Amino acid sequence: MIKTKTKTETRYKGASNPFLCKSGFYITELHMGDEELESTSDLAGPFKTLERAREVFKSKVTNDQFLSDYNFEIRGPKDITGSIWYAGKDRPSE
């Protein structure tokens, strides 16, 4: 009986580019360097609406005593200003 070795290859998906997000909203942890954003990692998502992403942001990040709101943002499709970052909390109207 002849035994042959089979090679199993594992493919890993690299970190996605946050600027290529076309649809959906994600709760994203920001990994900051000295003065700039070094990398990101998604905590939850995708969500269809910004409102739903903010609800989950509140339950997962704001209500967790071990997580800081400043390390997380919501990212999604570009808005009218061209930004992909959205505030996790609703801004009070002026």
Rounded average pLDDT over 20-44: 83
**Residue 26 · residue 45 · CB < 8 Å:** yes
Model confidence at 41, pLDDT cuts 50, 70, 90, reads confident
Model confidence at 94, pLDDT cuts 50, 70, 90, reads very low
- Sequence spans of domains, the chain: 21-86
Q: Give the chain's count of helices (H) and strands (E).
A: 1, 4
How far, CA to CA in Å, does 32 sit from each of 5, 55, 67, 72, 74?
44, 24, 15, 11, 15
Residue 35 has pLDDT above 50, yes or no: yes
Residue 12 has pLDDT above 50, yes or no: no
Q: Would you state the structure tokens that stand for residue 8, as one six-digit string?
A: 């199993």
What share of the chain in percent tops pLDDT 90?
5
